[in-house]
Chains A and B, each alone.
Chain A
């Protein structure tokens, strides 16, 4: 990863406001992120943190209310029709729910051949069939002839999700935005899906934006990449995965990591838990002033945290944190 290269995806203070019964819901608030080609970035957070909305803005499916989304340096909403088409092919989204994202009236072949023929990637059905077979093999649906003529309802959840991935691959994307792509499948299937996605990442050099609520999954998928943690629409911490997992800085990240139940009775029963001041997540309709985590935060300092929104500050080791208190303490350490 060259530091000076133009990021393949760049979010520059991107926001998105939804109108709900004349009230404004700020789903994403001034999020900035630069992703280099071949990188893996996990967007992590609880429901309502804005990770899915951010993913959809990266894929160009929804318009930001403010800020710019850039693909290879260009604002996607200022592109020519032709450029925009190329961008849309290059950035593919895999949805969470493989039951909802595949057309139930089409066979696997129908679902996958449509983009191939539509975009002139293959000349005819004979070539399309060959290409679909290759792609099914890529996602471990073998032998492919067993799947070509099946309808989605004849497939298991894990197989459907593989078809979704294979469909995204039909247009040879440079970036895949995977929104909770492994959350809805069973444990025994999840690992093989994750391993398959890791292999694609390695073999095809695809850039991944991986959206998940599960930090353990993020750890395993993006160990060589980065994790960005979101809370109520804002990015509150971003850094290299081993740093975020082993040395989290933001009190929210620390609370999340300490709260996760682990599939090991000795680890999980002796884990130290960070206590929050409040269990309730504030509503997006009523986001607390200043740092939106302040009503729950164990480090809360009156007169500081509720007054201004903390910026993402560099605290060393490649981590940036949006916390007044942590940033101040780290700065002291540097001086000392």
Chain B
């Protein structure tokens, strides 16, 4: 089970004080503002945030797939494997090509658009393998069949299909299989279940859960959907205005959140099971990343805000055994 993730030893990925900006007409968009976290070996980490929180930019930065206009202003991304480390931001083009997919694969949002529409699925596997120096077509085909079975697809049917012949959920599972082709150690999934129907979402969730027990990799998924984090994550990080405002085990985050934003988020999602309780809404609007509020970016919407919050930005501090929150008043925050 992924819940028994090994916590000892070096992490798979370490991010330190990462800043990413985009120029825009109105000014500079500060999409990622001083993010630090580690991805532990074998764990599933969920980055949860709303649209415009910078979570996708953060994911793209980890594999250095940011759009040209974006700039990594500062920070460090370290990747570890078998006792050696690599500074991802210092990789040259050739090293980067190898790093992506073989070490760290990203599965993008919108499975519809991520596959080449004029290639059969088999060809997409072969192309990917060839681009990374695997020329033994027979071996690649065998590996592809094995992976497709793991994601609960019928290889006989899927291998010879074009993407448009598959449903959204099937395409999403093909992409997951494709991401696993070169046995990467880290997989990043961006909104893996968004825009899928409920029963299809369930099949993707079950596939991911099964893969975590069968293969050895660490998983980061980026989503706006808290219930997906509740389903799959070992640890959860809440992202607000380009920064991680809280990170901790999935149970701490849902049951003992210490950041007012995490608390508000978890209380604003309706559940099907259980009692009817009134939902608490979060006042105000999402922050503007060109002119983020001074001090704590959440202060204009926060019921705990004081003068200190309006002038000084809090940093992540330890608030529990394995839980960190960036809030001046975390001790007062009670579920």
Chain A interface (Cβ < 8 Å from any Cβ of B): 46-47, 156-159, 186-192, 194-195, 213, 215-217, 219-220, 223, 245, 255-257, 259-269, 271, 273, 276, 279-281
Contacts and interface: CB of A to CB of B under 8 A. Distances in A.
A263 B266 contact: yes
B282 to A, nearest CB: 4
A187 B199 contact: no
A260 B200 CA distance: 10
Contacts, number: 122
Contacts of A215: 198, 272
Nearest to A190: B268
Interface stretch (B83-91, B125-133, B224-232): B224-232
Contact of A47 (B197, B254, B280): B197
B276 interface: yes
Contacts of B202: 259, 261, 273
B51 interface: yes
Given A213-B197, A261-B230, A269-B231, A192 B282 contact: yes
Contacts of B169: 279
Contacts of A261: 201-202, 205, 225, 227-228, 230-231
Interface residues of B, number: 41
Nearest to B283: A192
Interface of B: 50-51, 152, 167, 169, 197-203, 205, 224-228, 230-231, 250-251, 254, 264-266, 268-274, 276, 279-283, 285-286
B254 A256 contact: no
A252 to B, nearest CB: 9
A263 B230 contact: yes
A280 B282 contact: no
B270 A267 contact: no
B231 A186 contact: no
A195 B279 CA distance: 8
B50 A188 contact: yes
Contact of A263 (B198, B205, B226, B264): B226
A276 B199 contact: yes
B272 A279 contact: no
Contacts of B268: 187-188, 190-191
Contacts of A260: 198, 227, 272
21 contacts: A46-B197, A46-B199, A186-B224, A188-B50, A188-B286, A191-B282, A192-B281, A215-B272, A216-B269, A216-B270, A219-B272, A259-B198, A262-B227, A264-B254, A264-B273, A265-B231, A268-B231, A269-B231, A271-B273, A279-B200, A280-B167
A220 B276 contact: yes
B272 A187 contact: no
Contact of A216 (B228, B265, B272): B272
Contacts of B203: 279
Nearest to A270: B273
A256 B272 CA distance: 11
